[in-house]
Copies of this chain bind each other. A is one copy, B any other.
Amino acid sequence: MSDILHRVGIKASPSDTYAALSTISGLAGWWTTETRGDSQRGGVIQFRFGARGGFDMKVLELEPGKRVLWQVVAGPEEWIGTKVSFDLRQEGPYTLVLFKHQGWKEPIEFMHHCSTKWAMFLMSLKSLLETKQGAPFPDDVNISGIGD
């Protein structure tokens, strides 16, 4: 099993950061504008990226201001069953976001791509909260030149 790990620090409160991770409008502001579904515990959120496809995430845990945990229930085969979590911690004027995408069976090349892509989306989350302007799909940063 392999995990993708990241950490960013955001000049925003834990509650504002949590809102960007636990509401459809918040998520649409930094990951993909094509975000729909039910973001409450037990609900399923659909994230779509145009022709690239997308993911359905079941919301397993929600702790206001502290933690969000999803499990992938539909999407690329390598993602199914993996879990994505965001743990928040205040440090001075910053909220530190510890990110994990865990449960990859093999460290395949697609995992390398997703790791870099997650970093860019977490910077988009940071930008959304600090400047009110994220970079969600379809305005996401192209990291590879080949598709996305």
Binding site for B on A (CB under 8 A): 2-11, 91-94, 96, 98-100, 107, 109, 111-113, 115-116, 119-120, 122-123, 126, 141, 143-146
Copies in the complex: 2
Task: Pick from B111, B120, B146: contact of A119, CB below 8 A.
Answer: B120
Q: Max chain B CB contacts within 10 Å: which of A10, A11, A96, A100? A: A96
Contacts of A145 in B (CB 8 A): 9-11, 93-94
In contact, B6 and A94 (Cβ under 8 angstroms): no
User: A8, B143: Cβ atoms under 8 Å?
Assistant: yes
- Is chain A's interface secondary structure helix, strand, loop, or mixed overall? mixed
- Asked if B94 contacts A7 (CB within 8 A), the reply is no
Q: How many Å lie between the Cα of A4 and that of B4 in the bound state?
A: 7
